[in-house]
Structure 1
């Protein structure tokens, strides 16, 4: 498979049937499990200021806000941000919603915790992910924690690389074609959605980093990895596990 995908594919990727698929693929129960995990591993309490980046349509942001946390959600998708804003305003929730790119958006406050869930960590190349980690670290108070979730780290995706996939979510069908670009260590993916007589094709690239690369990058910006799990049940992460949940803590400046 040959797909020409630019490095800023994520700017307009989340739109149309693509957004609908991601919303249908998640359940309320799963969101609650992840939020329980975040509260536990971030060691946060109601009233704390938490950063969700990128926040997507805000399923974690909204649930945490309903539990008493003051939230900031950042995402580059205008579709997602509009929907999140509407729900925040309708329910009068303590959420600041920002339409922007975390690589260039200046954060105006410090946070008591932050998280990046749902494979978003590998959306950009090494220069981009370096800027992302620095921006998040700079926005955290000493002792605050940062949780990263991904099923796309090398130890997860490469042992059983999926070349194709087919999923049915109600009346929405998603077909997947994947290829791995060895020289640049990224996965190129073509998604074809079908709903009734409507069809859409979206392509993206996902940069694949090893766990040790991620830990070294975090450490460079004062984020010490304190745990790596394979699920919200907090089992140790092993080679071939489908998901990784890494917990890092911001170190005090000496």
Structure 2
């Protein structure tokens, strides 16, 4: 069976681009706001869903929370385990698919941040992720989803972008497929004489679509915001954060 785009996209190179030093700093700085938004009690147990190399899991564990990280990329999980060990933190990092979360009634909170939602071709798979989140939460547990604001993206859409990172140049070519509500991108990564290409196909959601998916999964939306700091959501906000808790069974 042919691999899906996300199984080939996430590797050491794209990790160096997405998780550079400034990105770690921003994550650390936003953790206190995230904790406030979720209303977490000291020592609460959190699942960082699509945790990558631990950009949120590690600062949350430093703040005394019990953290489990789940990701499908072995490279990122190895990096996360090494970083946690280096800092003397007890974090369980688990390999897996977010459509089959291996926990039930386990967590006070689940977070899925940095547009780690929308990877799949079929919306029934996105609904399945949310049902798995519901299953993994304790009764009354909360879920925070944070991703790009589709309305802002369309208004500010640029088909070509250059980005410079330490040691890298990245040319990003993108097209919006309105029939499927997906952004199709190609990354050309230049590192010295080395050239790599990656493709990305991301489902982008309207607020109304997300509210419907949450309702179908038994997640009761408590509020939506323009980011992890709980700022008001508007069409001008480049991020969208939804806060929900576990309601009745889906």
> How does the TM-score come out when normalised to structure 1?
0.91
Unaligned 5+ residue runs, structure 2? Answer: none
Q: Distance in 2 between matches of 1:186 and 1:28?
A: 27
Inter-partner Cα distance in structure 2 for 1:25 and 1:244:
23
Moved over 3 A (4+): 25-29
After superposition, what is the alpha-carbon deviation per residue over 1:194-222, rounded to whole angstroms, capped at 9, x for unaligned? 11111111101001211111011111222
Q: Secondary structure at the match of 2:117?
A: helix
Question: Which residue number in structure 2 is paired with residue 179 of structure 1?
Answer: 175
The aligned residue for residue 123 of structure 2 is 126
The alignment partner of 1:46 has SS state of: coil
- CA shift at 1:43, angstroms? 1.0
Q: What aligned pairs does 1:2-151 form with structure 2 within 5 A after superposition?
A: 8-24=4-20, 26-107=22-103, 110-124=106-120, 125-151=122-148
Instruction: Provide the aligned C-alpha RMSD in A.
Output: 1.8
| CA distance in structure 2 between the aligned counterparts of 1:173 and 1:180, rounded to whole angstroms | 23
Alignment of 1:163-174 (within 5 A): 163-174=159-170
Structure 1: gaps (5+ residues): 1-5
Q: Provide Cα deviations, 1:23-57, integer angstroms capped at 9, x if missing partner.
A: 21643431122211221011112321100010011
Distance in 2 separating the partners of 1:198 and 1:136: 40
Maintained 8 Å contact 2:34/2:229: no
Alpha-carbon contact 2:105-2:139 (below 8 Å) kept: no
Distance 1:26 1:246, change over 3 A: farther
- 1:61-85 deviations in whole A, cap 9, x for unaligned? 0011111111110011111011111
CA distance 1:25–1:204, change in 2 (3 Å): farther
* SS of match in other structure, 1:103: coil
Distance 2:213 2:104 in 1: 23
Q: Distance in 2 between matches of 1:245 and 1:7?
A: 29
1:176-215, aligned counterparts within 5 Å? 176-215=172-211
**Aligned pair in 2 of structure 1 residues 127, 32: CA closer, same or farther (>3 Å)?**
same
Q: 1:109 to 1:90 in 2, by over 3 A?
A: farther
Asked if the contact 1:157/1:240 (under 8 Å) is kept, the reply is no
Is the contact between residue 72 and residue 96 of structure 2 (CA under 8 Å) also seen in structure 1? yes
The verdict on how the C-alpha distance between 1:75 and 1:227 changes in structure 2, with shifts beyond 3 A counting, is same
